[in-house]
Amino acid sequence: MHVGSRLGAPASLLMMGWLSMVLVVDYDGTLTTQRLLGAATWVVLLLALLRTTALVRTQTLVVVAFATVVEYTFSPGLDVYVYRFENVPAYVPPGHGLVYLSAFALGHAPFVRRRLRVAVWAVTVPLGLWAAYGVVLADRQDVLGAFWFLCLVAFLRWGPSTEVYVGAAVVVTWLEVLGTELRTWVWQPVDPVGWLSIGNPPSGAAGGYGWFDLVALAVAPTLLGWWTRVRGRGAATPASSGPAAGTRDAVAR
């Protein structure tokens, strides 16, 4: 599984740069600003998807759908973290797609893949130190961050997409730090039932993207297969039968 030659580390940095710019612009923007940023972010996501394979496109759209459900459940629903206007900003759903693509592209960049073991240690050690600090020394304890860090370690060790998890450790950590510094969103000190303390941001937030990727890998092939069969049935009509139509179908595929 690969991203393809048209989407690599430079594209990953551009997508991260776009999301960073969106957060900065939204720092003191209005709801109208958020909506305009949302529309623009959908355009950027669609342009990025054109440069990926059909499978990666499908995985990305699964992540967008799943992450949006998670956003509405845990932000306006359970108030685990709260956005400025106590909503889910319009740029967040497509933004999750760009985060996933950026992590995917960065992790699959040739430079990273040739040094994947080094890259794993490069993201694990500093995040591990941050997680330990959050549990032992920080004024605001961060047990949830430590739990998510353990999830990240487990995905890096046993998960199916090591490259994605390495990329997510960089992309998600950067955006979490930037977003909370700008106070675009704020994490609550504890979870809704009061069991787990939460940092602002949680140290191991990138571990959550391992679950997004797992859902994408589980669902995307089935969705893509279904869509291929639907397109195939649509092409197999009387008007498109015959040798010439078969040639057209072969070229389209």
Q: How many CB atoms lie within 10 A of CB 174?
A: 15
What's the Cα-to-Cα distance from 160 to each of 7, 164, 169, 210, 211, rounded to whole Å? Answer: 20, 9, 15, 10, 11
Least confident of 10-14, 124-128, 204-208, 231-235: 231-235
What value does the mean pLDDT take over residues 19-40? 97
Least confident of 33-42, 49-58, 144-153: 49-58
pLDDT band at residue 168 under the 50/70/90 scheme: very high
| Mean confidence (pLDDT) of the chain | 90
Q: Which residues on neighbouring strands pair with residue 190, listed in sequence order?
A: 197
pLDDT at 22: 98
For the segment 138-149, what is each residue's pLDDT rounded down to a tens digit?
999 999 999 999
Nearest to residue 100, comparing CAs of 214, 202, 232, 219? 214
Amino acid letter, residue 33: T
Q: Which residue has the higher pLDDT, 129 or 2?
A: 129
For the segment 189-241, what is each residue's pLDDT rounded down to a tens digit?
999 999 999 999 999 999 988 999 999 989 999 998 998 888 877 666 555 44
What value does the mean pLDDT take over residues 72-79? 96
Backbone φ and ψ of 185, nearest 5°: -145, 155
pLDDT at 7: 72
Per residue, the 3-state secondary structure of the chain, as one string, reads CCCCCCCCHHHHHHHHHHHHHHHHHHHHCCHHHHHHHHHHHHHHHHHHHCCCCHHHHHHHHHHHHHHHHHHHHHHHHCCCEEECCCCCCCCHHHHHHHHHHHHHHHHCCHHHHCCHHHHHHHHHHHHHHHHHHHHHCCCCCCHHHHHHHHHHHHHHHHCCCHHHHHHHHHHHHHHHHHHHHCCCEEECCECCCCCCECCCCCCCCCHHHHHHHHHHHHHHHHHHHHHHHHHHHHHCCHHHCCHHHHHHHHHHC
pLDDT at 86 over 80: yes
pLDDT at 139: 95
Distance CA 220, CA 223 (A): 5
Share of the chain above pLDDT 70, in %: 90
Least confident of 29-33, 104-108, 183-187, 233-237: 233-237
pLDDT at 238: 53
pLDDT at 5 over 90: no
pLDDT at 248: 38
pLDDT at 9: 85
Residue written as token pair 């956003």:
71
What value does the mean pLDDT take over residues 22-45? 97
